[in-house]
Amino acid sequence: MDVTTPASDPWLIVGLGNPGPEYAMNRHNVGFMVVDLLAERIGGKFKRAGKAQAQVLEGRIGPVGPASRRVVIVKPTSYMNLSGGPVNALRDFYKVPVANIVAVHDELDIDYGVLRLKLGGGDNGHNGLKSMTKAMGADYHRVRFGIGRPPGRMQVADFVLKDFSSAERKELDYFVDRAADAVECLLAEGLERAQSTYNS
């Protein structure tokens, strides 16, 4: 299903994660890693978003001309389980339709490095999505970055708050790059094209 909104409407690209250097390489922070790369591609720097608990970067994604999309890249600084408040405040401030919000997040039920893009749906126990959905409904896009399930009897909370393993880190840059490409494709060409290209 594709939702069409006017090309002039801005997009919020939200990376989900926890603030602070101790969380930087956690599996739960892969959303931050992807939006950091998008920010690097745009060539800008994040700044504090006024009263909202978030860092933002305004810019454009896509080729120069009508295919270019105005974006606000967002990293909530409220911690994962309170992400909805800052995102909803920024949605109001920038007048962004909910369908023009993209949450980039880790996903336990997908193998490591595999991507799945979709519009709407449940939160599957993900506290960042749960908070966003509570704040503004579920009809936003998701770029789901697979991290796999915890090994053995490890608790989910422990697993997501651990750094990627040394074996995983060998491919992490490639997978993060691919997820950033998927976000750009979603904005430029729509959900169906992005799904057919990146849903592996």
State how far the Cα of 11 lies from the Cα of 100, in Å rounded to an integer. 5
Name the residues annotated as catalytic.
28
Q: What is the DSSP string of 127-176?
A: HHHHHHHHHH-S-SEEEEEE--PPSTT--HHHHHTSBPPHHHHHHHHHHH
Round the CA-based radius of gyration of the chain to a whole number and report it: 16
Non-local (6+) Cβ contacts of 200 within 8 A are 114, 115
